Amino acid sequence: DSAKKLGKGSNRGKYILSYLDSKLLKNPELDRNDLIYFAKKYEREHCTEKYDDTKIESLVDQAIKYCKDKSIMPQEITKSEEIE
């Protein structure tokens, strides 16, 4: 039901980022590609508007940086791990 979904101007990026942070806290073994997948899945299920890939990747990179700064995930996951 789109009435319950997040639309433009609802700060949906914040919700996606929070979801990604939660995923990483519970599953620190997830890599960048996994997180991109989960961000897009969350967006499909909870948002009426879609971000472009660059924005999704930026949110994923923010989540990775946050979790690295909090020392809760392996340091080898970096932005250099691009989608192949």
Q: Report the distance separating Cα 31 and Cα 60, nearest Å.
A: 10
Could you give the CA distance from residue 24 to residue 2 in angstroms, rounded to a whole number? 27
pLDDT per residue rounded down to tens, the chain (84 residues)? 455 887 787 788 899 999 999 998 888 889 999 999 999 999 999 988 899 999 999 999 999 888 777 665 455 545 444 444
Residues 76, 67: Cα–Cα separation, whole Å = 12
Give the CA distances from residue 9 to residues 5, 29, 36, 37, in Å, rounded to whole numbers and listed in that order: 12, 32, 22, 23
Query: What pLDDT, on a 0 to 100 scale, did the predictor assign at position 3?
Result: 59
Q: Residue 45: its pLDDT value, please?
A: 92
Name the residue type at position 66.
Y
Nearest Cα residue to 68 out of 41, 28, 36: 28
How far is the C-alpha of 47 from the C-alpha of 41, rounded, in Å? 10
Q: What is the pLDDT of residue 71?
A: 61
